[in-house]
């Protein structure tokens, strides 16, 4: 089995906030996702705050992630799967997609 990094690209704050009931629904979906793919999810990962620093090769430090807000990296998880198709299938069920987030799926090189 190979390991894959799921990179969640979503908005830090949606244009219209979901209602409390809808948010509860999303949280319940996460619970289902973890249960459904318990054998595949190696690390639930974490969310990332919208703040950040960027260090340039010349030593300059700038505030904030550069990338446009619409594709900000909001969090990540690590899953294991036999191949990309399976990893994509796991990602497809991930609740991030329900709140308008995209998921980038990258296989670990296993160099180390």
**Site residues (vs other proteins, CB under 8 A):** 13-14, 17-24, 26-28, 30-31, 34-35, 38, 44-47, 74-75, 95, 99
In the complex, minimum distance from the CB of residue 8 to other proteins, in angstroms, rounded to a whole number: 9
Question: Could you give the 3-state DSSP secondary structure of residue 97?
Answer: helix
Name beta bridge partners: 73: 9
For the chain, what is the largest distance between any 2 Cα atoms, rounded to a whole number of angstroms? 48
Structure-token pair, residue 18: 């979901």
Select 33 or 109, whichever has its Cβ closest to other proteins.
33
In the complex, minimum distance from the CB of residue 107 to other proteins, in angstroms, rounded to a whole number: 22
- Cα 59 to Cα 102: distance, rounded to the nearest angstrom: 32
Sign of CA dihedral 104, 47, 77, 89: negative
In the complex, minimum distance from the CB of residue 45 to other proteins, in angstroms, rounded to a whole number: 8
In the complex, minimum distance from the CB of residue 66 to other proteins, in angstroms, rounded to a whole number: 22
Select 46 or 85, whichever has its Cβ closest to other proteins.
46
């Amino acid at each position: 089995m190979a390991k894959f990094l799921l990179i969640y690209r979503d908005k830090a704050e949606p244009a219209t906030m979901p209602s409390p009931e809808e948010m509860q629904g999303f949280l319940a979906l996460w619970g289902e996702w973890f249960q459904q793919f318990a054998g595949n999810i190696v690390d639930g990962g974490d969310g990332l705050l919208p703040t950040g620093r960027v260090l340039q090769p010349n030593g300059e430090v700038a505030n904030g992630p550069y990338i446009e807000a619409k594709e900000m990296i909001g969090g990540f998880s690590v899953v294991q799967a036999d191949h990309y198709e399976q990893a994509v299938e796991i990602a497809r069920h991930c609740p991030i997609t329900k709140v308008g987030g995209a998921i980038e799926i990258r296989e670990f090189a296993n160099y180390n």
